[in-house]
Amino acid sequence: MSRAPESAPPARLDHHALERYETAWLGVAAVMTALLFVGVLASVVSGTYPLLDAGSGHAHDGPIVRGRVDPKNLAATPFAKPGLVVDAAGQPLLNDQGTLDAYIVAGNFTFQPAVLRVPAGVPVTLHVTATDVAHGFEVTGTNINAEILPGHVASLTVTFRHPGEQHAICNEYCGVGHHNMITRFVVDPPATGAKETQ
Ligand code: CUA
Pick the CATH number of 59-188 from 2.60.40.420, 3.30.420.40, 3.90.79.10, 1.50.10.20: 2.60.40.420
Q: Which atom of ligand 1 is nearest to the CA of 135?
A: 1
Ligand 1 centroid from CA 180, angstroms: 8
Q: Ligand 1 centre from 150 Cα, in Å?
A: 12
Q: What is the mean pLDDT of the chain?
A: 83
Residue 136's pLDDT band (cuts 50, 70, 90): very high
Residue 140 confidence (pLDDT) above 80: yes
DSSP state string for the chain: -PPPPPPPPPP---HHHHHHHHHHHHHHHHHHHHHHHHHHHHHHHHT----SSS----GGGTT-BTTB--GGGGGGSGGGS-EE-B-TTS-B---TTS-EEEEEEEETTEEESSEEEEETTSEEEEEEEESSS-EEEEETTSS-EEEE-BTB-EEEEEE--S-EEEEEE--S--STTGGG-EEEEEEESPPTTSPP--
Q: Is 174 in the pocket of ligand 1 (CB under 6 A)?
A: yes
Q: What is the pLDDT of residues 82-98, one digit of tens each?
A: 999 998 998 889 988 88
Give residue 107 CA to ligand 1 midpoint distance, Å.
8
The answer to whether the predicted template modeling score (pTM) of the entire model surpasses 0.75 is no
Give the pLDDT score at 14. Answer: 77
Write down the pLDDT at residue 24. Answer: 92
Q: In the chain, what are the domain boundaries?
A: 13-48, 59-188
Task: Please state the atom number of ligand 1 nearest to the C-alpha of residue 134.
Answer: 1
* pLDDT at residue 191 is higher than 80: no
**Could you read off the pLDDT of 12-61 as tens digits, one per residue?**
667 787 788 889 999 999 999 999 999 888 877 776 654 444 344 444 44
Is the C-beta atom of 178 inside 6 A of ligand 1?
A: yes
* Mean pLDDT score, 156-177: 92
> Of ligand 1's atoms, which has the minimum distance to the CA of residue 106?
1
171 Cβ below 6 A of ligand 1: no
C-beta of 53 in contact with ligand 1 (< 6 A)? no
